[in-house]
Structure 1
Amino acid sequence: MIVVHHLNESRSQRILWLLEELQAPYEIVFYQRDARTGLAPVELREIHPLGKSPVITEGDRVIAESGAIIDYIIRRHGEGRLQPDPSSELYDEYVQWLHYAEGSAILPLVMKTLTLRVGKVLAPLGRQADSEVALHLGFINEKLAGRDFLLGDELTAADVQMSFVGELAGAVIDRGAYPNIEAWRRRFQARPAYQAALARGGPSRLAQ
């Protein structure tokens, strides 16, 4: 059985959501951030040397990194669900979204979050962050035009992987500026499996 090593207020929430969508059995081991520093506890390093979350274990396998975890779960437990046919062109777009989430899209939003916290100290970085946030959110917003989800009318694991981008964006920018992203965020957060993951994993400030 899959064990999710789940850190509160972290990207591991989307792994719980994916498992709920698939109705795959799983267990959770809970970890709490340090109340002062916000960092993950050292106990996570006993599971994986980087001490980060998400990380899952299944038998003697230890898988880290959200994209790799999602790929592993879909291949071994998805039974063809939540992904396009691997022989289709749509599958190539699906894989791009899996990598884009952590490879390009999230960094500008993290930069924006940091500049909001420290203000004038990082003003030049803030201007660069604003430019990059606009670039990436504009791209995502355009791709979602006329679609319920990233690849069309049906949810895929690409939406699960990209969900953190949409949620963090909603926390640091004017949600009305990107209406397609906002509608998509509300749509996936309303799904029963998403709500079930919150019930099991605990509340998240971004799930609002």
Structure 2
Amino acid sequence: MLTVHHLRISQSERIVWLCEELGLDYELKLYERRKDNFLAPDDYKVLHPAGTAPIVTDGAVVLAESGAIIDYIVTRHGGGRLVPVADSPDFPGHLFWFHFANGGFMPTTMQHWGATRGGVAVPPFVTDRRRRMWDMAEQRLGEANYFGGGDLTTADIMMGFPLITMRSLTGETVAEHPNICAWLRRIGERPAFRRAMAKAEPGMPPNLQ
């Protein structure tokens, strides 16, 4: 049985959303963050040496890292769905945004947020990179309905966390990005997304504005 170990308010919500989009039979285990430091509880950290979310177990398999988990589930359980075929014109863009989510967007967001929370000056290169990345996302969603192209792909699932839940922590707004706003509306209308967020974050409406 595929089990998704979801740490509340974390990137592991992506995996719940993926499973719902694929209509998989899976078990969901919720873990609450510690009240003293907002970090993962000890019983979560021992699941995998990385000690980070997300983590899935599938028989003898214990896997961490969003991208690795998504590739594993899509390949082993999803029949390759939600990924454009290699000769599709959407495939290169899908690949870029799938990897950009955690390779560029999230690190820059965390650098900016960390400096702001710590009361120190945000390095100019971080400010510039953050602006360019938001502009790139806005441009992409002016060219296509989804980051992965004409249809939702796992690239959109990867980009969902920084553009939805992470913004609840950073306080960033999207009012000045109409294409991103339109994408958020499209995501919010998806039954699988609504089911996933109700299961992963009960009592916490997704930040779609």
TM-score of the two chains, using structure 1 as the length reference: 0.90
SS of 1:153 mapped into structure 2: coil
Instruction: Note closer, same or farther for the CA distance 1:204–1:109 as it changes in structure 2 (3 Å cut).
Output: farther
Q: Distance in 2 between matches of 1:124 and 1:53?
A: 26
Give yes or no for contact 2:108–2:129 (8 Å, CA) kept in 1: yes
Q: Alpha-carbon deviations, 1:24-82, whole Å to 9, x = none? A: 01101221111120110111232101211101010101111000011111111222321
Give yes or no for contact 2:116–2:122 (8 Å, CA) kept in 1: no
- Unaligned regions of 5+ residues in structure 2, if any? none
- Unaligned regions of 5+ residues in structure 1, if any? none
Instruction: Report the count of equivalent residues.
Output: 205
Shift of 1:89: 4.6
Q: Distance in 2 between matches of 1:112 and 1:203?
A: 28
Q: Alpha-carbon deviations, 1:105-136, whole Å to 9, x = none? A: 111211222233233xx1143x4432221011
SS of 1:30 mapped into structure 2: strand
Q: Alpha-carbon deviations, 1:135-184, whole Å to 9, x = none? A: 11111111110422113331111100111122235753331222211221
Instruction: Note closer, same or farther for the CA distance 1:114–1:81 as it changes in structure 2 (3 Å cut).
Output: same
SS of 1:106 mapped into structure 2: helix
Backbone CA RMSD of aligned residues: 2.0
Q: Distance in 2 between matches of 1:58 and 1:202?
A: 22
SS of 1:47 mapped into structure 2: coil
Counterpart of 2:61 in structure 1 is: 61
Counterpart of 1:40 in structure 2 is: 40
Counterpart of 1:133 in structure 2 is: 130
Counterpart of 1:123 in structure 2 is: 121
Give yes or no for contact 2:94–2:149 (8 Å, CA) kept in 1: no
Counterpart of 1:191 in structure 2 is: 190
Q: Matched residues, percent identical?
A: 36
**Higher helix proportion (structure 1 or 2):** 1
Instruction: Note closer, same or farther for the CA distance 1:147–1:183 as it changes in structure 2 (3 Å cut).
Output: same
Instruction: Note closer, same or farther for the CA distance 1:158–1:124 as it changes in structure 2 (3 Å cut).
Output: closer
Alignment partner of 1:5 is 2:1 = no
Give yes or no for contact 1:98–1:158 (8 Å, CA) kept in 2: yes
Quick one: which amino acid aligns to residue 181 of structure 2? Answer: E
Shift of 1:199: 1.9
TM-score of the two chains, using structure 2 as the length reference: 0.89
Give yes or no for contact 2:93–2:149 (8 Å, CA) kept in 1: no
Q: Give the 5 Å matches for 1:1-208.
A: 1-119=1-119, 122-125=120-123, 127-167=124-164, 168-169=166-167, 171-203=170-202, 207-208=206-207
Quick one: which amino acid aligns to residue 150 of structure 1? Answer: F
Give yes or no for contact 1:43–1:51 (8 Å, CA) kept in 2: no
Instruction: Note closer, same or farther for the CA distance 1:7–1:124 as it changes in structure 2 (3 Å cut).
Output: closer
